[in-house]
């Protein structure tokens, strides 16, 4: 069983799905999805999907579907997790991010793992954790994390390359974690090979700079998209270009409408800008783009590393003191793998300068030497671990 909850964006779902795509080669996988449904998002067909009543955050508060109360949904979810576990009796439960995050979901997760320990002690419980936790934990919260890891968890899979990020950098109490910690490498998606022919995606835009702009799920990132549209007429004086914008499935409709109005001519001719909500071919767009502009969440950065595209990123936080994107971005910038603009410096003129500079950089040296096979390694590790073989 694989428990995944995305409360604001969709990065946790994308990473989890890529892991599951490899797990199904060796395991029967039951995927617990606790977030809102995303039209067009594809889960591997072999997966048995367990959909909890959706729960997500808006302005820091739990939000649920129509005609439901938050308290009713909490109770339903808690009971459904336990009943599904009892029905399936899996060899292993993987929790994505918990207990290093998802503390707002203690109401269902603590009873869940407690039930497993009490009724099925042979079931292994594994934590799946990204490279940078991001939020600086208070001492009390770190103590809770250590207690939960040591009470319930058998293994920690850290989805990072040790040459880029050490677990000790992400969690100061790392020495107090008793379970084994395995570095899997980064979890990435595999783009299709469009060779040098970008026309199936971009149309006839030869001798024109192809600029891809995306903001993940879209709950955050509106300011970047707005700035890109405003920057386009300034950039047009220097470079012919075509801009493809993906707003993300969670951007509010009124915000998308505002962007379309801005792009459709309020400030002049914007026929060189296309705005769409979501695509399953984001990596293919990225691989064939001349430059990509985005936020710097885990999955977006993995896409940048795997495709080698020139990139400008804007590191933002989902909540106060959230340094995840900034930490990752500054490390990558120091290695010459991305350029970045801090949110407070995001203006149309500054963005144009960055785009021109980025397009003039040689792309051939942007070869990533990090381990990008985290999904495959995760499956390999779990296969050996659950069969009581040496992991490495």
Whether the pLDDT of residue 193 is over 70: the answer is no
pLDDT band at 40 (very low <50, low <70, confident <90, very high): confident
What gap in Å lies between CA 122 and CA 136, rounded to an integer? 34
Whether the pLDDT of residue 210 is over 80: the answer is yes
Looking at mean pLDDT, say which of 186-190, 205-209, 227-231 comes out highest.
Answer: 227-231
Name the residue with higher pLDDT: 195 or 222: 222
CB 158 within 8 A of CB 100: no
Q: What is the pTM of this model?
A: 0.91
What gap in Å lies between CA 132 and CA 275, rounded to an integer? 31
Name the residue with higher pLDDT: 293 or 189: 293
Average pLDDT score, the chain: 91
Residues 227-243 have pLDDT tens digits of 999 999 999 999 999 99
Would you tell me the crossing angle of helices 253-261 and 222-236 to the nearest 10 degrees? Answer: 10
Range list of β-strands (E), 5-159: 30-33, 48-51, 55-58, 61-64, 92-96, 124-129, 155-158
Helix (H, G, I), strand (E, B) or coil at 158: strand
DSSP 338-360: -EE--GGG--HHHHHHHHHHHHT
Residues 85-132 have pLDDT tens digits of 999 999 999 999 999 999 999 999 999 999 999 999 999 999 999 998
CB neighbourhood size of 199 (10 A): 11
Q: How many residues does the chain have?
A: 392
What gap in Å lies between CA 264 and CA 354, rounded to an integer? 24
Helix (H, G, I), strand (E, B) or coil at 293: strand
CA atoms within 13 A on the CB side of 262: 19
Beta strands 180-183 and 209-214, pairing class: unpaired
Beta strands 339-340 and 209-214, pairing class: unpaired
Cis? peptide before 79, omega within 30° of 0: no
């Amino acid at each position: 069983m694989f428990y995944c909850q995305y409360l604001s964006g969709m990065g946790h779902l994308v990473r989890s799905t890529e892991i599951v795509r490899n797990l199904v080669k060796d395991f029967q996988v039951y995927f617990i999805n606790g977030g809102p449904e995303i039209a067009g998002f594809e889960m591997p067909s072999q997966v048995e999907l367990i959909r909890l009543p959706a729960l997500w955050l808006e302005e820091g508060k739990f939000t649920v579907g129509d005609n439901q109360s938050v308290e009713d949904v909490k109770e339903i979810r808690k009971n459904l997790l336990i009943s599904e576990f009892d029905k399936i009796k899996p060899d292993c439960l993987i929790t994505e991010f918990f207990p290093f995050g998802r503390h707002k979901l203690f109401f269902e997760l603590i009873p869940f793992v407690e039930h497993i320990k009490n009724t099925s002690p042979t079931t292994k419980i594994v934590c799946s954790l990204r490279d940078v936790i991001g939020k600086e934990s208070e001492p009390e919260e770190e103590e809770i994390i250590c207690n939960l890891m040591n009470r319930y968890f058998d293994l920690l899979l850290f989805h990072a390359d040790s040459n880029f990020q050490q677990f000790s950098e992400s969690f100061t109490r790392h020495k107090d974690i008793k379970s084994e910690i395995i570095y899997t490498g980064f979890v990435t998606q595999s783009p299709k090979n469009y060779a040098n022919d970008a026309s199936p995606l971009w149309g006839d835009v030869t001798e024109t700079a192809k600029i891809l702009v995306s903001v993940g799920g879209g709950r955050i990132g509106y300011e970047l998209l707005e700035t890109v549209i405003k920057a386009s007429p300034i950039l047009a004086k220097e470079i012919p270009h075509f801009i493809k914008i993906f707003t993300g499935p969670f951007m509010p409709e009124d915000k998308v409408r505002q962007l379309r109005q801005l792009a459709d001519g309020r400030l002049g001719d914007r026929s060189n800008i296309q705005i769409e909500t979501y695509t399953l071919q984001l990596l293919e767009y990225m691989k064939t783009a001349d430059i990509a502009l985005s936020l710097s969440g885990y999955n977006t950065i993995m896409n940048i590393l795997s495709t080698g595209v020139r990139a400008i990123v804007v590191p933002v936080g989902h909540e106060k003191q959230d340094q995840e994107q900034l930490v990752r971005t500054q490390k990558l910038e120091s290695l010459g793998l991305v350029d970045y603009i801090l949110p407070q410096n995001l203006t149309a003129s500054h963005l144009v300068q960055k785009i021109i500079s980025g397009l003039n950089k040689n792309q051939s040296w942007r070869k990533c030497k990090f381990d990008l096979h985290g999904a495959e390694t995760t499956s390999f590790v779990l296969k050996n671990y659950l069969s009581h073989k040496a992991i490495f």
